[in-house]
Structure 1
Amino acid sequence: MPSTRYEFFANLFLHGEDSPFLLLDGDKTIHYSEFFERAVRLLNHLVRQGARHGDRVIIGLENRPEYLELILALALGGMTACPVDPAVSVVQLDKAKRVANATMAITSYDQLAYALDTSIPDCVHQGGMSDPFLVVFSSGTTGAPKGIVQSLENFFAAAKAFAGAVGLQPGQVTLHNWPMFYNAGLFNLFACPLLSGGVIAVGKRFAAKNLGDFWADLARFRPDSLYLSPTMAATLAKTYRFFSADLEPLQRARIISTSSILYPAIKEEFLRVLGAPLLPCFGITELGGSFTIGDADSGPFSVGKVMADVGVQIDDQADGELLVQSPYMALGYLAEGGGIDYFDRRQPFRTGDLGHVRDGELYISGRKKDSIKKGGEMINLAEVEDMVHATQLCEECYAVGKPDLFWGETYDVFFVPPAGGNAQAIKDELSRLFNASLPQSQRPDQIHAVSEVPRTSSGKPIKRLISYEVAQ
């Protein structure tokens, strides 16, 4: 890998200068060289606003092509991008600025301008590839969010390795329909296509209330690759009957499932209704991003094969916790005062996920916190959730562990009824399902209907907060 940031990005963007890089609405195209020049002009504007090498910059913006240009501008300048959900409150934004020790916050596109100057500013030549590049605030699905600091070198090296494992080819189109402040929006949908010489179709951000936009983007861009979370996939399968969409653009694409566990019931229903297989993958932000990829034949709860340069082991003394050794590991977590608590790169990373390896494939059965020990018996809550998903009785279902004086631990089941559904009738059906399918010791303590599930800004359910809705 080149030793300077300018050399690295110039090799990527200027060698394929006449190739399209971004596809936009209205048949507009931004080529590789044009994208690079716009990023340099944007960087010159930021330098005139006082930005310097080593600065941390909070980004609270909605999806637009300029967002990706800003990411490149900051990377060129040796500044650290700190993306946050643009919907955060002022209090949350101030907290992010304080935690990151940020010198600048960009929360409106009105703050951006493109200088006429296309010369390379001095900051581009300061520092090296190992400098911090990105702070990703973790989703906080099971605890308080953390600021994960990644270097430019490891982030893009991980993206190159994953793009190779997936088989991305030059000129292939990847649909970008995820939040750009989310790690997948930058790793899977920006860096991976870039490192493979691909094309990014900037579509509408996926939203359950605007599913017509998703089908329209598929027809317009006809991507070779796209990413869906299991929740997105389940939503599309359940609602397809309301759309007269052509399935051919979906079926021709490589569809990768990421973000959370791909339940077998969701995978099977997506294939049955839409005729397209979902390919599982697995990644951890602290380890650079995605590092496994499966295929259409991957078994239930398989996340596919692990990339060649990533090592995995299972700690049987910790209930089967997955440990990972990766050359793409992030630098560490943000510390008080803006410093970095560096990871010990000599030790494997404890993921908090439970898994096992069989026939060369990695299987993930859930988080450690998604498995409980009830009276000495381990219960995998992900398998309970998959059992409910297979019935299609409800929109969503989550099993949440809780302490118990007698058993040590037990769990409750929370479900979201479909629109117009009878919550009590569904609760009775679920009770009959558990009585028929599980021994008494493995059945939930209580079953609750909830109107909605609290989520992170990236759409992941916050399981530790679901019970609060019942209490309200």
Structure 2
Amino acid sequence: MQIAGVEPIPEDVRRGYVAAGLWGGVGLRDGVEAVAARTPDRVAVADGTTTWTYRELAAAVDRAVGCLRGHGCGPGTAVLVIAPLIAPAVAVYHAVLRCGGVAVMLDRRSGRADVVNAVEAAGVELIVTTAELATSLQVADLDVPTVSFDHVMECATPSEGWTERDPSLPAAIVFTSGTTSRPKAVVHSLDTLRAGARNMADIVEMTDADVAFLSTPLASITGLLQTHLTTERGAGLLLEDRFDAARSLARLRAEGATVLGGAPVIIEELFRQAQAEDLHELPLRTMALGGAMIPREILEVALDRYGIRPVRVYGSSEVPVSTGTLPSDEGEGRYADDGACAEGTEVRILGDQPGELLLRGPMRMLGYLDEGDNAEAFTDGGWYRTGDLGRFEDGRLTVTGRLKEIVSRKGLKISLTEIDDVARRLPGAEEVAAFGVPDAETGERLALAVVARDVAAVDFDSVTAWLLDAGLAKWKLPEQVVVWEQPLPRTESGKVQRRMLAADGAGSRTFLAPRLR
């Protein structure tokens, strides 16, 4: 798998990562297999239906290696894993790495257009998913061999051993929606993934006594990092595929989760539920907050009532867990900014502060799979342009805003340009533009402004049904459709002024999703 057009990190800096132990020196066997040998009966992963100890996880990974090899998975093979948050998906991910393949990750909520894009972009040679998703996504039409998680887990083919992979080569691909019209394929190596996972483990001070609670998709960078950091620290991992505040809180308590991370709105929901139930203690000892801060009153509940230590982290799919709270930070210093640099991470601010934020470090992605996406992503010296604004003073980072045009719904990022590109083909639409609206439940919700020739023909159900048929994933559908009765506000250069869409009252008719009615 070739990645072209990337400005490399200078060789002397790369050598420094190796010398400091930030790259190399640790093999795959130092993860699942080593923990299985050391503490075989420690619970490794549980998804509410399946619970595996490390002995059982190691056996499942070994079976999966044998099965995937039998289906042609070898060094460099791109394997598309369309996965809900289930234990077999974790085993398959580990197995792809041990075969030397590249795990191309998609969430169960992906649309068919996402699947087609992944197959074509990565040159996928094998697909692993559930039987239900294979049917709903019409995977059979793609002419790519497909097997189910059940089939892989039922395989009795022995792995017959495997060799350690080159940790600097492509290992995993996640897709992120930024400012472009389609999801970008972010390529990571084992070295870069482990650097991000180690940074997170250090920030939350994870040990083998911990249990992490994961409600973010396995196909996200957060999902992959938690998969690595728990196995490499010998901790447990609870997978919560379908979040529900009451049910998820009950499970978190019953199974003793000690580390919580993910979208701030989900964390907020859990603590509001704990308040509603008048709970006086929780097993959690720390929670990692990225992006928007949770409301002050919820933070105080976590601190004062439950004694939970909050930490801040900053990163992205491209440069995961770049900065974060230090163990020595006390009081409001734990969450007043976005923390100090993780080991090996460097920060640069372009121009005056706050200015455009650039990052470089051992966790930086290898690059985007599409050469065209790399052209504007890097500067000389291998610095990654985050698209965010920030201040960096006294060794501490404060992110002050975003340059990227995205909406973050429960931590899942949706490209406004991607929505525009699909919606502009909407029958009868003269102009369309997606924009974000603050939402108490999800943080932000996606709205779509439509200037139509026949305004009476526009309503919520017809617009969202058409977008779904056009291949847009269900989780990317707008939850608010606004019929705009005048030309959309634009800059002199012709760019739509999205903030004015959210503030202006030109839309005389507004349609909302059922949950908002």
- Counterpart for residue 324 of structure 2: 293
Residues 1:347 and 1:318: Cα distance change in structure 2 (over 3 Å): farther
Structure 2 letter corresponding to 1:249: L
Q: Do the aligned partners of residues 344 and 128 (structure 1) sit closer, same or farther apart at CA in structure 2, a change above 3 Å counting? A: farther
SS of 2:348 mapped into structure 1: strand
Q: Secondary structure at the match of 1:102?
A: coil
| Deviations 1:20-61, CA, capped at 9 Å, x for gaps | 142536797523233122201111011112222210011112
Alpha-carbon distance in 2 for matches of 1:323, 1:279: 22
C-alpha RMSD of matched pairs (Å): 4.1
Deviation at 1:362, TM superposition (A): 0.9
1:225 touches 1:255 (CA, 8 Å); kept in 2?
A: yes
Matched, 1:49 2:71: yes
Out of 72, 82, 103, the position equivalent to 1:81 is 103
**How far apart, CA to CA, are the structure 1 residues paired with 2:347 and 2:105?**
29
Deviation per CA, 1:248-280: give whole Å up to 9, x if none: 116x4311123x332xxx330312455456422
**Equivalences for 1:129-144 in 2 at 5 Å?**
129-140=167-178, 143-144=181-182
Write the distance in 2 (CA, Å) between the matches of 1:50 and 1:85: 23
Q: Which runs of 5+ in 2 are unaligned?
A: 1-22, 131-148, 407-437, 448-487
- Name the SS for the 1:404 alignment partner: coil
> Any residues of structure 2 matched to 1:137-152 within 5 Å, and which?
137-140=175-178, 143-152=181-190
Following TM superposition, by how much is the alpha carbon of 1:84 offset from its aligned partner in structure 2, in angstroms? 0.8
Matched residue type, 1:362:
L
**Counterpart-to-counterpart distance in 2, 1:70 and 1:233:** 28
Q: Is 1:214 aligned to residue 286 of structure 2?
A: no
Q: Distance in 2 between matches of 1:345 and 1:255?
A: 36
SS at 1:309 equivalent: coil
Query: Residue 191 in 1 paired to residue 228 in 2?
Result: yes
> Quick one: distance in 1 between partners of 2:95 and 2:185?
21
Per the TM alignment, residue 354 of structure 1 is displaced from its structure 2 partner at its CA by 0.4
Structure 1: runs of 5 or more not aligned? 372-387, 416-443, 454-468
Q: Do structure 1's residue 261 and structure 2's residue 299 form an aligned pair?
A: no
2: CA distance, partners of 1:345 / 1:70: 37
One-letter code aligned to 1:279? V
TM-score (norm 2): 0.66
Aligned partners of 2:56, 2:375: CA distance in 1, in Å? 35
Tell me the distance in 2 between the aligned counterparts of 1:301 and 1:399: 28
Instruction: Give the one of 87, 104, 111 matched to 2:126.
Output: 104
Three-state SS of the structure 1 residue aligned to 2:321 is strand
* 8 Å contact from structure 2 (residues 88, 153) kept in 1: no
Aligned to 2:466: none
The one-letter code matched in structure 2 to 1:146 is: K
Q: Closer, same or farther in 2 for the Cα pair 1:90/1:111, shift >3 Å?
A: farther
1:412 is aligned to 2:499: yes
Aligned partner of residue 93 in structure 1, secondary structure: helix
Alignment of 1:18 onto 2:30: no
Q: How does 1:389-468 map to 2 (within 5 A)?
A: 396=443, 403-405=490-492, 412=499, 444-446=503-505, 451=512
Q: 1:214 to 1:2 in 2, by over 3 A?
A: same
Matches within 5 A, 1:110-125: 110-121=150-161, 124-125=162-163
SS of the aligned residue for 1:297 comes to helix
In 1, Cα distance between equivalents of 2:189 and 2:288: 25
Please tell me whether the aligned partners of residues 45 and 52 of structure 2 are also in contact (alpha carbons under 8 angstroms): yes
The Cα shift of 1:309 comes to 1.5
- Is the Cα–Cα contact under 8 Å of residues 322 and 354 in structure 1 kept in the other structure? yes
Residue 271 of structure 1 is matched in structure 2 by 299
1:205 to 237, 241, 248: 241
Is the CA contact 1:399–1:414 (under 8 Å) kept in the aligned structure 2? no
2:281 to 248, 273, 289: 248
Return the TM-score normalized by structure 1: 0.71
Q: 1:370-389 counterparts in 2 under 5 A?
A: none
For 1:402 and 1:166, the matched residues in 2 are separated by 45
Q: Do the aligned partners of residues 127 and 328 (structure 1) sit closer, same or farther apart at CA in structure 2, a change above 3 Å counting? A: same
Deviation at 1:113, TM superposition (A): 3.2
Q: Does 1:365 align with 2:396?
A: no
Query: Given the superposition, is the C-alpha separation of residues 233 and 452 from structure 1 closer, same or farther in structure 2, using an over 3 Å criterion?
Result: farther
Residues 396 and 8 of structure 1: CA distance in aligned 2, closer, same or farther (over 3 Å): closer
- Whether 2:343 is the aligned partner of 1:312: answer no
- CA 1:143–1:232: 2 relative to 1, 3 Å: farther
CA positional deviation for 1:64: 0.8
Q: Which moved more, 1:87-96 or 1:102-111?
A: 87-96
Moved more, 98-107 or 80-89: 80-89
1:178 is paired with a residue of what secondary structure? coil
In 1, the alpha carbon distance for the partners of 2:489 and 2:345 equals 34
1:62 Cα deviation from its structure 2 partner: 1.4
Identify if the C-alpha distance between structure 1 residues 120 and 153 changes in structure 2 by more than 3 Å, giving closer, same or farther.
Answer: farther
Report the Cα offset of residue 211 of structure 1.
Answer: 1.7
In 2, the alpha carbon distance for the partners of 1:353 and 1:319 equals: 10
Give the Cα separation in 2 of the matches to 1:129 and 1:254.
Answer: 30
| 1:181, distance to aligned residue in structure 2 (A) | 1.5
AA matched with 1:183: I
Q: Distance in 2 between matches of 1:410 and 1:182?
A: 30
Q: Which amino acid aligns with 2:265?
A: T
AA aligned to 2:46 is: L
